[in-house]
Structure formats: structure tokens, C-alpha cells
Amino acid sequence: MLITVSRQTGSLGQEITDLLGQNMNLPVINRDVAMRNVFPEVASQHEIHMLAESPSFFLTTASDGLTFAQHLENRLRTRVAAESLIIFGLGAQIIFANHPGALHVKIIASPEVRIGRIMQSQGLEKKDAERFLELSDRKHKRYISALYGKDWSDPLLYHITLNTDYLNINEAAALIQFMAENQQVPTPEADTAVEAQKLKPVVFKHQSEEEFAKILDMHGMEWEYEPRTFPIKWDAEGNVIQAFSPDFYLPRFDTYIELTTMDQRYVAQKKKKVQLLRKLYPGTNINIVFKKDFNTLIKRFGLLKGAQPNE
């Protein structure tokens, strides 16, 4: 089990993590632990000082050719492989983003609440507490941005975000514990199912699509069949009332292809849909295969004569 906790200063993240560690009987790795246990082996006194001061110094190379960030990451990976633990900060939500057993938690609070807490805990005036938070937030952001090129505040980096405006330390720790102990961890079976889905033979709706797929195969082009549906019309309440799924997508050429080999009465409708899609999704490349072009291709490559038109 691995729990990573990222927190805003003044969000009670440290207190929640300490309590969580006690309640779950898990060791907590935080910045102090890392500075004490990882860097003395590979960094000089001056370098340790610099690591404490400057996020970008983590990208400096140690004498063995690895950066200090790599040393930290390697040590964390070794620990995580060996035991269940909680990592507080250190970019662990990114290092272990794809770790199957990880729970990534972010703890936040509103600026007003955080300022109030800092004023109380540090004995600061309001303006000094504001400045304290500003510097602290900037440092957190810079560490993640400099080392991993990610935005620390991106909610997609976390499984759960807790707002301690509305939760006390006990409630927050209990919530995280509950989630960690009841987490739906992706199983190898689930992964296999996803792979199997990918390998499932494509069932085409129309023969002409199957023939066109053969033409793409002939040209060595990777394709996907109806991989995406674009909503193109909504009602007054915002419900989608019309959508459009182009027949093929060519990932290498970022191009959608729509076959219009059907009854020519419907061609105008389809053209309109394509125009609408281009307008609503600017930058989307979509091209139409008209009946004449399709027949030319079929003839050129000696494919099935008289492939039935699609709808």
C-alpha cells in the first residue's frame, strides 16, 4: 500500500498525515526524512544546504552521474517496493502516478482559513501570514514544475482532494484510511480485459468500410474505426441532440475520414455535418470519401466489386 499526500501550507496536511501514519501504523517519509537518510550518502554539506534551499538544485548531478532527484526517486522506489508507507510531498504523486496500489491525496483549504491558521500557529500578523503562504505555495509549485514539468495544482494528479475548511484532522485521516483500505486496485485481469478489448476484431457496419480499411492496410496506415463521437448539436438545456462519429481515424496523420459512398441524397446532409464539426472543433482534420473516389480506389486496387454503399 502506498499513500502519497500533497498539501497546501496551512491546510493541516502535516497533522493529518502524522495521524494517518499512527492510525494505520505506517511509516511516513517526508522531506526531513529524505534529507537525513538519502542525501548525506551522495551530497556534500554545501549541496545538502542547496537542496534545502533550491528546488532546481535537485537537478544537479551528484559525483556518480545521477541527479539528486534521481537519487531521491530511486530510494523512494526501493522503499515502496519493500513496504507499505506514506510519502508526504517530494513529488511522489508524480513519481508513483501509475503505481497500481497508490492512493494520491491532496489536502487544501481556502486562503482565508489557511491565513488564519498560519497567523495562529506562527504568531504572525495577517499580511506576514499572507506573504508566508505566498512564498510557500510558490516553492511547492516550483519544485514539481522544475523536477517533473507538471502543475502541482492539477486536480488530475490526485485520486481525492480534501478541503479542510469542512473537515477536521480526525475526519480527514479517517476518510483517507477508509479509501486506502477499500481502494479498487486495477487487477492484472482487468488489464488483460482492456488488452483483449483492443485486440477484438473490428465489426464494420458496412462492407464499404471494410474495403476501405483494406486500402488503408495496403498503405501501411494505422487506423481506428469510429474511435470518437463528436456532439454537434445541443438543445436549449445543453443536452446533445445530434452527434457525429467519423468512420476512421488515422493517428499518424491526425485525420478523420468519413465514407459517403451511400445514396447521394444523403451526401449533402453528411457534408453539413462535416462542416459543422470543423466549425465546432477547429483544428480537427476530417476528409470525406465520396462515392466516385471510393469506386476509383476499389477499381485501382482490384478490391471487391460493387461494395455496398453505407449509410
How near is the Cβ of 167 to another protein at its closest, in Å? 50
SS3 150: coil
Binding flag, residue 297, another protein (CB under 8 A) = yes
Farthest CA pair distance, the chain: 85
Q: Count residues near another protein (CB under 8 A).
A: 23
How near is the Cβ of 228 to another protein at its closest, in Å? 16
How near is the Cβ of 38 to another protein at its closest, in Å? 39
Binding flag, residue 289, another protein (CB under 8 A) = yes
- Tell me whether residue 238 or residue 283 sits nearer to another protein (CB atom): 283
Left, alpha or beta for 138 (phi > 0: left; psi -120 to 50: alpha)? alpha
Residues 243-272 that bind another protein (CB under 8 A): 250, 252-255, 257
How near is the Cβ of 146 to another protein at its closest, in Å? 31
Contact 262, 311 (CB under 8 A): yes
| Piece in contact with another protein (CB under 8 A), picked from 86-94, 96-104, 202-210, 287-295 | 287-295
Binding flag, residue 293, another protein (CB under 8 A) = yes
How near is the Cβ of 212 to another protein at its closest, in Å? 9
How near is the Cβ of 199 to another protein at its closest, in Å? 19
**Strand stretches in the chain, DSSP E:** 2-7, 28-29, 85-88, 102-108, 160-163, 224-225, 230-234, 240-244, 248-250, 255-260, 285-290
Name residue, grid cell 464494420: 204
Among residues 65, 123, 201, 302, which is the contact residue for another protein, using CB under 8 A? 302
- The contact pattern for another protein, residues 186-225, with x = CB under 8 A and - = no contact, is ----------------------------xxxxxxxx----
The 10 Å Cβ neighbour count of residue 276 is 15
* CA gap 172, 7 in Å, rounded: 12
| Piece in contact with another protein (CB under 8 A), picked from 26-34, 36-44, 264-272, 298-306 | 298-306
SS3 49: helix
* CA gap 107, 237 in Å, rounded: 35
Binding flag, residue 275, another protein (CB under 8 A) = no
* CA gap 298, 307 in Å, rounded: 9
Q: Contact residues for another protein (CB under 8 A)?
A: 214-221, 250, 252-255, 257, 285, 287, 289, 293, 297, 300-303
